[in-house]
A and B are shown apart, each in its own frame.
Chain A
Amino acid sequence: DVVLTQTPPTLSATIGQSVSISCRSSQSLLHSNGNTYLHWLLQRPGQSPQLLIYLVSRLESGVPNRFSGSGSGTDFTLKISGVEAEDLGVYYCVQGTHAPYTFGAGTKLELK
């Protein structure tokens, strides 16, 4: 099974600070169809997860452009350029390239 290793597990940030979260895969997430099914989700406290970024770098509709994703193969990054209070919660990467699909363990973003 594909293992997604997210770092750091916890991130303390001030409002306006830029932060990055890493997601490393135990094998390439490049699908035979040419897509890389690596996505980023945010779960705010008490809420269902919501999609932020899909296919590595595509911004989901309605998501602020301070969120960006990058990477390829086995190494991926989510960047928040200027944290806002509403960004607090747990961030997950998820891969949909290889079944069984898998999630990273999550990165909790909290206010410093």
Chain B
Amino acid sequence: EVQLVESGGGLVQPGRSLKLSCVASGFTFSNYGMNWIRQAPGKGLEWVAYISSGSSYIYYAETVKGRFTISRDNAKNTLYLQMTSLRSEDTALYYCARLPFFDYWGQGVMVTVSS
């Protein structure tokens, strides 16, 4: 059974950093590109970042470019999102999802940026 389990969220002050993790199981993680997607409370889905299977290709949404870094460790079946210079508008439920079809999603991890 394919599973994606996010962790690392919480309450953080503006300007601080946080690192999210997404542990994958039930499939060959190293064969798939992965995404981070977020959803602000009561809002729609916003794509955040993409990383290819071998980390050769990485893309970011303009809203996070220069502040967030996506990475992966295929030996640990884990996807990461390092978030720095956090802002109140980064408050959201963060999901990891598998590409190329967005066919599997984690349960999400909440990040709240507030003083």
A interface list, Cβ under 8 A from B: 1, 37, 39, 41, 43, 48-51, 54-55, 60, 90, 92, 94, 96, 99-106
Contact A96 B45 (CB under 8 A): no
Contact B95 A101 (CB under 8 A): no
Contact B50 A101 (CB under 8 A): yes
A106 to B102 alpha-carbon distance, docked (Å): 16
The residues of B that contact A51 with a CB separation of less than 8 Å are: 101-104
Contact A60 B103 (CB under 8 A): yes
A92 to B39 alpha-carbon distance, docked (Å): 13
Additional A-B contact list (5), CB under 8 Å, known A51-B104, A106-B44 = A39-B101, A43-B45, A49-B95, A60-B103, A96-B101
Contact A48 B106 (CB under 8 A): yes
Contact B108 A99 (CB under 8 A): no
Q: Taking the nearest CB of chain A, how far is it from the CB of B98, in angstroms?
A: 10
A54 to B62 alpha-carbon distance, docked (Å): 26
A105 to B46 alpha-carbon distance, docked (Å): 9
